[in-house]
Amino acid sequence: MTTLDQIAPDFVGMAHSIVWASVATVDDDGRPRTRILHPIWEWDGTDLFGWIATVPTPLKRAHLAAHPEVSVSYWTTTHDTCSAECLVEWYTDDETCAEVWQKFATGPEPVGYDPAIIPMWKDGPTSPEFAVLRLTPYRLRVMPGTVMTKGEGTAVTWSDHSGRRD
């Protein structure tokens, strides 16, 4: 099995180059729902965390209250894919929202962007329409498209086995 320090830089590089991800939640009846979101990831050499700026809709809140986990999947036309299965925490406090707002506002191209371009967030990071999800991955997978298209390269997986399923 691959270690986190081996896979995290490749995961972040691929995720940030693709930018948009399909993110799935599950409702309290076990039915999945996907949406396209724009996570930003931070790897400090020890820990990997993702951040999603989002509108805290009643549906998202209900899904994450029932099952505080998401599946995040990236794909690009070259068939590069990476995915993260994550525990999720909501943050609505002004300090965290302002910090994450800045992460996106100053993030590297192409993942960085000005959150103020979202009409619902015109009032900035303290708007009630702005909230933050913190993603803590317990499983990662990275597969260069060449594995599928040419039979070259390797798909790698990492799992934190502390109580999580693979």
Please name each of the domains of the chain with its CATH number. 4-159 (2.30.110.10)
How many angstroms separate the CA atoms of 97 and 100, rounded?
5
Residues 6+ apart with CB under 8 A from 77: none
pLDDT tens digits, one per residue of 105-154: 999 989 999 999 999 999 999 999 999 999 999 999 999 999 989 999 99
pTM listed for this prediction: 0.92
Start-to-end Cα distance in the chain: 12
At 166, is the pLDDT very low, low, confident or very high (cuts 50, 70, 90)? very low
